[in-house]
């Protein structure tokens, strides 16, 4: 199916549009065309495991995963590789380490610092796996790497030599962008890992012997203010794990080393003369490699927008923000994936589970699901977009039939009415929301939603969504005669016939008209009897869920 522009409607989805742009670029670039024939389209991302990794990084991982999937859907081989930058050093005290360990390991790479929790290879491994162990729940398909391991096995040896042989070019890039006084404008672009104290932040590379392929360094106290060197010095090979590039140079080195075709990042990396600017120039001028999408030569392109919670930018380095691993306590992983998939990367996200944001998120998910299965018509273009969003955000195998849907608000109401799950399922069958022969997967979907609705009510929901069901008419109830008469008539009608939500809702207004009572007074009276408060969930589905006989008995007692 095509639109007027000749593109399929699936291309309306942002990841498909990016995939089209990437494929077109590769076809026009002989080097990239040759590389992708051999290795496929490499989509790359990386993260320094310096502590709890925030949900903002998760946005990048899901973006990268979606792009890789979109590429594969267009018939090309594509892989998403996520690397842990565990060769980076500890540069500020970590709350997970003791005062003594912070002093001992300051300036040491995260891969060489013990894990604060048993069962992990290192400090870096622990914080990286806190996130990556959850990838199946988020539907993220990624090949996981350690940057430190890549150094150790020699993957960067070629680019290390190129960079050191062309140190003058790299220094000029820094001088042009930041001025002659910039530190990297006069330093060799390599940080040796001291073989004596294992620190990588306290060494200064002083001389490079290109013929012998050896580098002279000193481990000193004046390289950084936050870590002290041991005084060791001498010649050492820069290869196979004996050191690392400075970050901005390393980014460019990775692109050539891993032959990256796509790598995006948060928009803060794409600021003018920022890390992406340096990496692009080093990639072009030193490594002779085309920077990956969204960059084009010296042009940085655009990074993705921030993911904020309650208006606060996610920043673990500043000691606040929501961790990726912690995020599943605020919304199920598949719902967070849906949120990130449905929102274009250049649009900011502010999500707050303490407000109506979570209710709206579930409503949008349910609508996309209905559109996917042809149960709701949103128009040709929007149907196609919602189908693709559902397809790309779904975790696991797509169901053949639409699972039974229970709105999140209705689920939150049910868990407050019934303590026994069996009674909830009986109510759902009585109201026609759960087929008698529902599949196990369908029932599991409802159970999952009920479980999170219960958590939301107990931990996040505003007072308007919480209630305590009354089992007898409250003693302090104060209703006028019209309210009493209206409730008595409703009780009589509830007992006489069957109702669905629509017909019962319409009946409320007929009763109000009959007694000359305001709608607000009628609803207020009903809620006072049933909940001992003036507001509550939508009354018609609430009554049907409770059971019309039980409600009728309560109203008769007014």
Residues 189 and 222 in one domain: yes
Q: Is residue 186 part of a domain?
A: yes
- Residue entry with tokens 């969204």: 294
To 5 degrees, how large is the angle CA 112–CA 116–CA 121? Answer: 45
Place of tokens 């796509």: 262
For residues 470 and 554, is the Cβ–Cβ distance under 8 A?
A: yes
**Quick one: 57 and 161 in the same domain?**
no
Together in a domain, 110 and 234: no
Distance CA 440, CA 327 (A): 27
Please name every residue paired with 427 in a beta bridge, in sequence order, or none if there are none. Answer: none
Last residue of a domain, one of 213, 244, 275: 244
Token output for 99: 């005062």
Pair of tokens at residue 413? 């109401």
14 and 107 together in one domain: yes
Q: What is the pLDDT of residue 311?
A: 57
pLDDT attached to residue 315: 40
Is the distance from CB of 57 to CB of 274 less than 8 angstroms? no
Number of domains composing the chain: 4
What's the rounded Cα separation, in Å, for the pair 362 and 338? 9
Helix (H, G, I), strand (E, B) or coil at 219: strand
3-state secondary structure of 109: strand
The token pair at 456 is 């939301």
In a domain? residue 152: no
pLDDT at residue 437 in the model: 85
Taking phi over 0 as left and psi of -120 to 50 as alpha, with beta for the rest, 399 belongs to: beta
Question: DSSP secondary-structure letter at 534?
Answer: S
CATH number, domain containing residue 487:
1.10.10.350
Q: Which domain holds residue 170?
A: 157-244
Task: Name the residue among 20, 16, 2 with its Cα closest to residue 344.
Answer: 16
Judge if 54 and 132 occupy the same domain: yes
**Which tokens hold the place of 289?**
């490699």
Same domain for 234 and 254, yes or no, is: no
Query: Rounded to whole angstroms, how far apart are CA atoms 459 and 508?
Result: 33
Q: Are residues 139 and 37 in the same domain?
A: yes
Q: For residues 199 and 192, what is the distance between their CA atoms, to the nearest angstrom?
A: 8
Residues 287 and 318 both lie in one domain:
yes
pLDDT at 541: 95
Please identify, among 334, 351, 368, the residue that sits at the C-terminal boundary of a domain. 351
Q: What is the mean pLDDT of each run of 10 residues along the chain (558 residues)?
A: 44 92 97 96 97 92 98 98 98 94 97 96 98 98 98 98 98 97 95 98 98 98 96 98 98 98 96 96 98 97 88 43 87 96 95 90 98 97 96 95 95 96 94 89 94 95 93 92 96 94 96 95 97 95 94 94
SS (H, E, C) 149-183: HHHHCCCCHHHHHHHHHCHHHHHHHHHHHHCCCCH
Answer whether residue 44 is part of any domain: yes
* Exposure b/e, 179-218, CB count within 10 A at least 16 = b: eeeeebbebbbbbbbbeebbbbbbbbbeebeeeeebbbbb
Q: How wide is the angle at C-alpha 30 spanned by C-alphas 154 and 37, nearest 5°?
A: 60
Query: Which secondary-structure segment (H or E) carries 426?
Result: helix 421-430
What's the number of CA atoms in the CB half-sphere (13 Å) around residue 46?
25
Residue pair 480/522 in contact by the 8 Å Cβ criterion: no
Answer whether residue 366 is part of any domain.
Answer: no
CA distance 465 to 153: 56
Does 132 share its domain with 253?
A: yes
Query: Do the beta carbons of residue 302 and residue 346 sit within 8 Å?
Result: yes
Residue at a domain's end among 284, 317, 351: 351
pLDDT score recorded for residue 354: 85
Q: Checking DSSP bridges between strand 312-313 and strand 307-309, what pairing results, if any?
A: antiparallel
CB 531 within 8 A of CB 469: yes
Beta strands in 102-228 (DSSP E): 143-146, 191-192, 203-209, 214-219
Cα separation, 509 vs 272, in Å, equals 61
The phi and psi torsions of 515 (rounded to 5 degrees) equal -100, 0
> pLDDT (tens digit, 9 = 90+) per residue, 375-393?
999 999 999 999 999 999 9
In a domain, 379, yes or no: no
Query: Count of CB atoms within 10 A of residue 440's CB?
Result: 7
- CATH of residue 266: 3.40.50.620
Number of residues that this document lists for the chain: 558
DSSP state for residue 404 in the 8-state scheme: P
Asked if residue 375 belongs to a domain, the reply is: no
What contacts 102, CB < 8 A, 6 or more positions away? 90, 93, 94
φ, ψ for residue 197 (rounded to 5)? -110, -5
Mark whether 3 and 116 lie in a shared domain.
yes
Tell me, rounded to whole angstroms, the distance of Cα 181 from its chain centroid: 39
Same domain, 36 and 137: yes
How far is it, in rounded angstroms, from Cα 187 to Cα 218? Answer: 13
Q: Are 21 and 40 in contact (CB under 8 A)?
A: no
Report yes or no on 488 lying in a domain.
yes
Q: Are 305 and 348 in contact (CB under 8 A)?
A: yes
Same domain, 49 and 88: yes
What is the pLDDT at residue 338?
98
Residue 100 lies in a domain: yes
């Amino acid at each position: 199916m095509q639109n007027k522009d000749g593109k399929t409607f699936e291309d309306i989805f942002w990841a498909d549009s990016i995939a089209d742009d990437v494929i077109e670029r590769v076809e026009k670039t002989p080097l990239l065309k040759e590389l992708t024939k051999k290795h496929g389209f490499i989509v790359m991302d990386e993260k320094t495991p310096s502590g709890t990794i925030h949900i903002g990084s998760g946005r990048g991982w899901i973006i990268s995963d979606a792009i890789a999937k979109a590429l594969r859907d267009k018939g090309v081989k594509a892989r998403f590789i996520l690397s842990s930058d565990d060769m980076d050093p500890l540069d500020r005290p970590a709350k997970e380490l003791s005062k003594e360990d912070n002093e001992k390991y300051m300036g040491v790479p995260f891969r060489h610092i013990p894990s604060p929790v048993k069962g992990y290879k290192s400090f870096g491994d622990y914080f990286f796996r806190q996130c990556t162990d959850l990838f199946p729940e988020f539907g993220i398909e990624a090949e996981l790497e350690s940057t430190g391991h890549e150094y150790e096995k020699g993957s960067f040896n070629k680019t290390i030599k190129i960079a050191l042989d062309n140190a003058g070019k790299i220094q000029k890039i820094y001088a042009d962008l930041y001025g002659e006084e910039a530190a990297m404008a006069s330093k060799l672009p390599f940080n040796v890992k001291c073989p004596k104290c294992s620190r990588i932040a306290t060494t200064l590379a002083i001389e490079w012997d290109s013929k012998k392929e050896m580098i002279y360094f000193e481990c000193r106290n004046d390289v950084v203010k936050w870590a002290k060197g041991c005084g060791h010095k001498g010649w050492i090979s820069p290869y196979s794990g004996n050191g690392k590039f400075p970050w901005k140079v390393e980014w460019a080195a990775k692109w050539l080393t891993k032959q990256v075709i796509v790598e995006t990042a948060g928009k803060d990396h794409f600021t003018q003369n920022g890390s992406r600017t340096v990496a692009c120039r080093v990639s072009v001028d030193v490594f002779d490699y085309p920077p990956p999408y969204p960059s084009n030569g010296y042009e940085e392109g655009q990074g993705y927008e921030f993911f904020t919670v309650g208006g606060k930018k996610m920043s673990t380095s500043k000691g606040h923000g929501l961790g990726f691993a912690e995020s599943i306590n605020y919304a199920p992983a598949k719902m967070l994936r849906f949120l990130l998939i449905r929102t274009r990367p250049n649009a900011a996200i502010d999500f707050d589970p303490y407000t109506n944001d979570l209710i709206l998120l579930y409503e949008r998910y349910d609508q996309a699901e209905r559109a996917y299965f042809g149960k709701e018509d949103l128009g040709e273009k929007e149907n196609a977009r919602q189908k693709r969003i559902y397809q790309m955000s779904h975790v696991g195998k797509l169901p053949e039939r639409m699972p039974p849907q229970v709105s999140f608000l209705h689920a939150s109401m049910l868990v407050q009415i019934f303590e026994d799950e069996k009674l909830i399922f009986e109510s759902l069958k009585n109201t026609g929301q759960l087929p008698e022969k529902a599949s196990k997967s369908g029932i599991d979907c409802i159970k999952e939603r009920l479980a999170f609705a219960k958590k939301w009510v107990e931990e996040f929901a505003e007072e308007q969504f919480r209630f305590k069901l009354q089992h007898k008419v409250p003693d302090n109830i104060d209703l006028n005669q019209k309210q009493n008469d209206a409730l008595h008539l409703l009780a009589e009608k509830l007992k006489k016939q069957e109702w669905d939500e629509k017909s019962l809702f319409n009946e409320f207004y007929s009763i109000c008209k009959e007694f000359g009572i305001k709608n607000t007074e009628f609803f207020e009276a009903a809620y006072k009897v049933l909940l001992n408060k003036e507001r509550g969930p939508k009354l018609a589905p609430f009554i049907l869920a409770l059971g019309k006989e039980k409600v009728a008995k309560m109203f008769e007692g007014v």
